[in-house]
Structure 1
């Protein structure tokens, strides 16, 4: 009789998905629209009425749809933050197909605490940021998160809509790791 050994993934203790604030999407959409309209005008150098007459042309309409829709769709796929904690590892990534990923082993965390911060004033906004003091910042929305102090002296701030729950899971994992 033969036996098959399988590896089970570690149990997920915390999982959170966050989208950026709707204003970020609106601002990007307005920027894409303005750039697209500017490009149209520059390419055809036509009056708005002449451009509208071309709008019924299938190739023109498909070009407009792809030119404006594709960047907006890609933005929506990228501006999505996921935070996941297992008993051994905390991982944060951006995008459905991760374009940025940061993992920290629980053993590398010295302390964690729930904090409030000012995203724009403290870090220049949301996303992957670096604080003035060298702290790495990973946020998507809001003004609450969990600040980690790592064993190498580094600091990492992870934005969360459920910061208390994330800190509790990490604290529990830290205690278990020390035993």
Structure 2
């Protein structure tokens, strides 16, 4: 992409406005590519609940407290079939998902009835930690 743009700018066939548009388009695409490359979903599970951050869209961790959950478990899911793909899905809906890749996630059902799925690459470790802190039998 860089070399054809360089050739077009140096060919002398483009006016200055076309050159500026070409350069701005290149930098816009570059910024988008860097942004996509930097997207990360980090999750931490502790005695308070599940903390997660979808960088760069969330600056701070979001926390779901154990007391606010009705159910919490890991499961296999279909990113395209259930949510229409990867990323932050289900904006404004009762069922939301944060996922980057893969098909394993932490399913959270809140006492309000809302559901949230947080993608994970370590489902076994996540389930062990959930079992340690979240006792679903006591909540029924």
User: How far 1:75 sits from its partner (Å)?
Assistant: 2.7
User: 8 Å contact 2:86–2:98 — kept in the other structure?
Assistant: yes
1:71 corresponds in structure 2 to 32
User: How far 1:120 sits from its partner (Å)?
Assistant: 0.8
User: How far 1:87 sits from its partner (Å)?
Assistant: 1.0
Q: Structure 1 segments of 4 or more deviating over 4 A? A: 59-65
Counterpart Cα distance in 1 of 2:120 and 2:88: 14
Counterpart Cα distance in 2 of 1:158 and 1:147: 7
Higher relative contact order (CA 8 A, sep 6+): 1
User: How far 1:166 sits from its partner (Å)?
Assistant: 1.0
1:102 aligns with 2:62: yes
1:122 corresponds in structure 2 to 82
What do you get for the CA RMSD once the two structures are aligned?
A: 3.4
- What is the 5 A alignment of 1:1-179? 50-53=8-11, 66-77=27-38, 79-95=39-55, 98-99=58-59, 101-130=61-90, 134-175=94-135
User: How far 1:126 sits from its partner (Å)?
Assistant: 0.7
Three-state SS of the structure 1 residue aligned to 2:134 is: helix
Gaps in structure 2 of 5+ consecutive residues = 13-18
Gaps in structure 1 of 5+ consecutive residues = 1-32, 41-47
TM-score by length of 2: 0.70
Counterpart Cα distance in 2 of 1:141 and 1:160: 8
Counterpart Cα distance in 1 of 2:99 and 2:8: 45
Deviations 1:90-149 (A, max 9, x none): 121111573575320122122222211111111100111129x83111111101112122
TM-score by length of 1: 0.57
Counterpart Cα distance in 2 of 1:126 and 1:73: 18
**Which structure: larger Rg?**
1
Counterpart Cα distance in 2 of 1:128 and 1:63: 28
Change (3 A) 1:62 1:74: same
Change (3 A) 1:106 1:144: same
User: 8 Å contact 1:112–1:171 — kept in the other structure?
Assistant: no
